[in-house]
Structure formats: structure tokens, C-alpha cells
Structure 1
Amino acid sequence: MFRDFYELWPEKFNNKTNGVTPRRWLGWANPALSSLITEKIGNGWITDLPQLHLLKNYVNDKEFCLRWREIKMHNKKRLAALIKQGCGIVVDAFALYDVQVKRFHEYKRQLLNILHVVHLYDRVKRGDDANWTPRLILFGGKAASGYFMAKTIIKLINNVAEVINADPKMHEYLKVVFLPNYSVTAMEIIAPGTDLSEQISTAGKEASGTGNMKFMMNGAITIGTLDGANIEIRKEVGDENLFFFGLTAEEVFQLRKTITGCDYSHGRGLASRDAVTYKRPFQPV
């Protein structure tokens, strides 16, 4: 986009990952957890988030861990009430809350997530349910008005949810919810109540992502690709506190090059589309 300017002043161009404010997404959205943190390490973390590292001193503190779990359960009950109000679906606060809320787009791979839901449904129907953890899978987000494929994926999610939620056998195993009218206000309840944060965008496509930050600072575990802000979050919390998924950005580029015969060496991600050199037409496999 700015090739001419870059050639004149390359030093003016550098990456800045966007972010969210802890004042709203932890301090305001999760007052019980905020109070517990402040009680233990003071309130400096609100404007200096790295101070949260001081919480490591309480990892083996039984009283602190118990209160942390109680707060999480309280927040999950708030989210369950929001789901009941918005969807009329009753969910168990003791289930694993597996959440993907974000703008609907093919590279964000809500389609891949709902296919995983179909796989889980098939497992239960086949009796493969040993050591099963009850799971609520929550989707939320909006599609651009003219984005037909994104809207089709939303329709698919709702159809799958209708089948699973109507099956009496599934009630103790799996429920699927598409929360309508996703908004910032809803996210203030969703983030504190989430156990597992789905950040599975195709590596190389996600410039940053901010939902992952909101979930992480509220104590959710992230499953995500090695891309965007997930990389920076990993530096802060350590590999043991994230579950990485899928290919790396470079592996994606190489795979795409192999399948399509396109040379992506001139650019990366969405910004590189005009720089692609087509060697041969794409042949569906």
C-alpha cells in the first residue's frame, strides 16, 4: 500500500500491536478478580500490567487458589444467565466453557471450530465418551453485510446447535450456543466466564487480535496459532500456559505455495495479494 513512501523513508515503518485496557477488561469487567489481585499485590497493576507477575508468589497458596476458583464459578454463572436470557438455553456452570467470539471471517476459522463440534457430537453418539468433560461451545460475532460465506457459516453453526441441543443424550455432554447481538457489553460478561479461548486464525493472517488479550487477563487458557498477539502473550505467560494449534505462518505459506503453485516470496498475508506471481492455475484436490 505504501511502497513509494517505504522506499523513501523505510525507517518510518514499524509494527505496533494494538491492545486493550486492563482498566476496562479486568478492572471493570471482573471486579471480584480485580479486588482479589489488588488485595494481594496492590493496585499498581491497573496501569502497569507486568506487575501481575507478582501473582506467581500465590500459585501454591490454597486460600488464594480457592477464592480464584470461586470467582471463576461466579463469572460462569453470570455468563450462563446471559445465555439463558439471550438464547433460552440452560447451560451448566460446571461445564468447560469453550468460547470463540470475534468477527466472522474465513481466516478466523469458525468453520473449523464448528466441524470440531460435529466431530465431538459424533464421538458421543458412537459411545466414545470415556473421561468426557461436559462442554459448552459458545460462538459470537458478526459478519460484514455482503459477506455471504461468513453468513453461511453462522447459519451452519445455528443448524448444528439446533440438532445437538435438541438431542436428550447430549445434555450431559455437549451444548452449542450462538449468542445473538454480540457486543462490547456482552464481552464484559463473556471474557470473565470463559475457560478456553479459541484463537485459531490461520497463521500469517491475524495482524494482532484483541479478544485473546481480554480472555487471557481474565484467567482463560488460550488455544491458538502462533500468530498475532498470541506470540506476545506467550512471551509473558510461558509456553506451559498456552496450547498451540496448527501450522506456523511459514508452514502455511509453503503449503499454499505447494498447493496453488503461487510464489508468495514477495509478501506476507493479506497485504501480499497483489504481489503474488501465479505460475499455474489452482487445481482443486
Structure 2
Amino acid sequence: MAEPPVHVAADLHTHSTVSDGTDTPAELVGAAARAGLRAFAITDHDSTAGWAEASDAARAAGLILIPGMELSTRVQFSSVHVLGYLVDPLDAGLREETERIRASRLTRAESIVRRIAADYDLTWDDVLAQTTDGSTIGRPHIADALVARGHAATRSEAFAGILHWRAGYAQPHYAPDPLTGIRLIRAAGGVPVLAHPGTRGAEEVLTEERLRRFVDAGLFGLEVDHPENTAASRPRLRALAARLGLAVTGSSDYHGLGKANRIGEYVTDPDVVARLVAEATGARPVLPLAGEPAR
């Protein structure tokens, strides 16, 4: 029997404790259900480790899950991430690159903590206490450790203060360029979308010329409706998407208590979700159990 088409609105960008969210993958499903979503994507940083738990919970809850990841990439000194949907999680090229990125994230985090510890009461154990097994450890966990130690009131305050690059403690981790990331995602059967391209920093380096190269490599869309894209950037991004034949997606970038972003505050149009799913060859959406209709 042919798989039924997926034609529902979906929040295509959420995080669990596998990366820097505060909800476990199963709790993430619960949050999506409470928000009234019928479909959503799990997109942890450089990892598919949350897929299995989220899939089981989504089937039981009657939600459609679109498995994905947020691949770390960089243009010059600007972080420009690529969302990869429905990739083959066993693809050798993608696995090798994400393992390299996660290893660099870990080394970078340890180095940042050593620098901070010279001036503040903070240890690596404090950071580990903010993670779960298998987490992609990064600056958000350091921020949470700083909050726990009383050096900042919130994660956002930690990022605006001690973890801001001007403070001198932070440093970049390894990340490939977006062109490489897009090609890796396509080679793994996935569908690539530029994450929050209208944020400060990313917007400055994402010229039309560069975007055309990304399109030639297989870019599917731009995440235009996102709480952190600047208001001024959105009309420009919509116009670019129209000129370049790119899809426009909407997502919350939900991190649980890690950000103010609310799950489901932005969603992607059902027609775009259907096109995205149809293009993927690496993995398939997770559908509700028989007898459990999609919400």
C-alpha cells in the first residue's frame, strides 16, 4: 500500500536535550501536541540521536514527525546553519562530518570553560551536570552552568555577557561551509533548508550570488518565518526565494526553557511540507500508529 501523502502544516525546527533544548525527545512530542500541532520536525544540532525516542512518542500521540537535524556550517566568521530533513542517518559522509563537528564542539566547549574558570567559579563538571547522555555539548550548556552558579540570571543573559565574543572567552568550532553541508544532505537523501537566514550576521554574508550557488547544489528553501529573523530581512528573503525558485518555510526553533521561542508560533504551509517530503529519499516521515489518526 502506498504511503499516504503528508499534507499538513508543520513546525519544522525544534530541539531536544540531544542538543541544546531542555525537553527530552518524548517531552518535545508532548509540547507539540499541547500546542495543537499535527506535525513537526525534530532538528537537533548535528545529531539524529533523538529520532528513535521522538518517533515512538509521536506514533503513540497521533502526530506526524519529520526527522531532521540542524547541520552546523559557517561562512567566514558567521554561523549559517542548514536544516537537513529526512536524511539517511546511516549515510557515511554525513555521519563522518557530524562526528567531526561534535568533536570540535566538545573541544571548543572545554577550552571556553578553562578560560572562564580563570575569572569565575565554574568547572567542567558544572557543564556536564547540564547535559544528558549523548548530548551535543555546546555553549548553551555552558550558559546553563553559568546560571546554575549564579553568574547570570538566564541563558540569554549569559550569551549577552560572559559568552559574548566581546568578553574574550568564546571561540569558534569547526564547521564546513554551507555549500558542503547542502551537498552532504542531498547525498544522504535529505532536503536542505537554510536556517534563520535573516538573523544578524547570517544576513550579511548570504548574498544573492552565494544563494544561487547554494540553489545549484540543491538548496530547497529558506526559513523565512522565524522569530529571530529581523523584520526588515523577511521581505528581502521572500523576494529572493521567489526569484530563485526556493520554498519558504516557517518554524519556531523551540528549545524548551532554553529560549523564549514558542513551539508552533510559526509553521510551514502544507503544500511546502508535501513538496519537501516528496523530494526526500533518505528517510520517511513517522506516521501515527494504526488506529491513531493524525491530530
Report TM bin, short chain: under 0.3
TM-score (norm: length of structure 2):
0.26
Higher Cα radius of gyration: 1
TM-score (norm: length of structure 1):
0.27
Greater relative CO (CA pairs within 8 A, separation 6+): 2
Q: Which has the higher helix share?
A: 1
